């Protein structure tokens, strides 16, 4: 069964390209401390605002150029992939746990419990996501952990509705 799925995936060039991009992203994120050309937090005011290497005035020392503080943009992108993966995986796991658990509970118990949980999910679907996220981040404060929690609290409803049905 797995061989058939893999063969079918490799026959589709778009799927193969997507798989290659995802794998490359994962490898870059995992190996960032060893393959990044510079320390992403260390800057040099002499080298600030350098253009990318393919633009006139750019150097191969900083392939994607530098920012206002002279930090290497390529290194920042590589290390930023790690944070993106951490938040993305954390949100899916936590949302799945919350929404899946509540969906199982609502589907199994039914009755008033199902009605209350379904109305809570409907309310969160009707409430604008951006306003909810800003409100919760304002209450919890900044940070990756709080961001993961806020996005999970906003995303549980999709898992809930799927598993409940």
Secondary structure (DSSP) of 20-35: HHHHHHHHHHHTHHHH
Average pLDDT over residues 119-129: 88
Confidence (pLDDT) at 147: 92
Confidence (pLDDT) at 119: 94
Confidence (pLDDT) at 130: 86
Confidence (pLDDT) at 6: 72
Tell me if 10 is assigned to some domain. no
Tell me if 106 is assigned to some domain. yes
**pLDDT band at residue 12 using 50, 70 and 90 as cut-offs:** confident
Confidence (pLDDT) at 154: 84
Distance (Å, whole) CA 116 – CA 160:
13
Tell me if 141 is assigned to some domain. yes
Tell me if 5 is assigned to some domain. no
Domain total for the chain? 1
Confidence (pLDDT) at 133: 86
Of residues 52 and 6, more confidence is placed in 52
The residue range of the domain holding 53 is 31-164
Tell me if 88 is assigned to some domain. yes
Average pLDDT over residues 139-155: 91
Confidence (pLDDT) at 7: 76
**pLDDT band at residue 153 using 50, 70 and 90 as cut-offs:** confident
Tell me if 35 is assigned to some domain. yes
What pTM was estimated for this model as a whole?
Answer: 0.78
Residues 6+ apart with CB under 8 A from 136: 149, 150, 153, 154
Tell me if 19 is assigned to some domain. no
Averaged confidence pLDDT in the chain: 90
Tell me if 148 is assigned to some domain. yes
Cβ(96)–Cβ(102) below 8 Å: no
Confidence (pLDDT) at 83: 92
Of residues 5 and 36, more confidence is placed in 36
pLDDT digit string (tens) for 87-104? Answer: 999 999 999 999 999 999
Cβ(82)–Cβ(29) below 8 Å: yes
Name the residue with tokens 């990756």. 144
Confidence (pLDDT) at 16: 86
**pLDDT band at residue 75 using 50, 70 and 90 as cut-offs:** very high
């Amino acid at each position: 069964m797995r061989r058939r799925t893999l063969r079918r995936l490799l026959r589709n060039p778009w799927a193969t390209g997507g798989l290659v991009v995802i794998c490359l992203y994962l490898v870059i994120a995992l190996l960032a401390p060893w393959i990044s050309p510079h320390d992403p937090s260390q800057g040099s005011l002499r080298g600030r605002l350098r253009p990318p290497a393919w633009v006139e005035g750019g150097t191969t020392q900083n392939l994607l150029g530098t920012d206002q503080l002279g930090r290497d943009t390529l290194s920042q992108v590589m290390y930023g992939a790690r944070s993106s993966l951490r938040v993305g995986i954390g949100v899916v796991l936590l949302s799945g746990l919350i929404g899946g658990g509540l969906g199982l509970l609502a589907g199994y118990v039914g009755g008033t419990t199902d009605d209350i949980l379904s109305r809570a999910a409907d309310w969160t679907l009707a409430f604008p996501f951006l306003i909810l996220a800003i409100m919760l981040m304002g209450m919890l404060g900044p940070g990756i952990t709080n961001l993961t929690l806020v996005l999970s609290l906003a995303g549980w409803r999709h898992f809930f509705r799927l598993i409940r049905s």
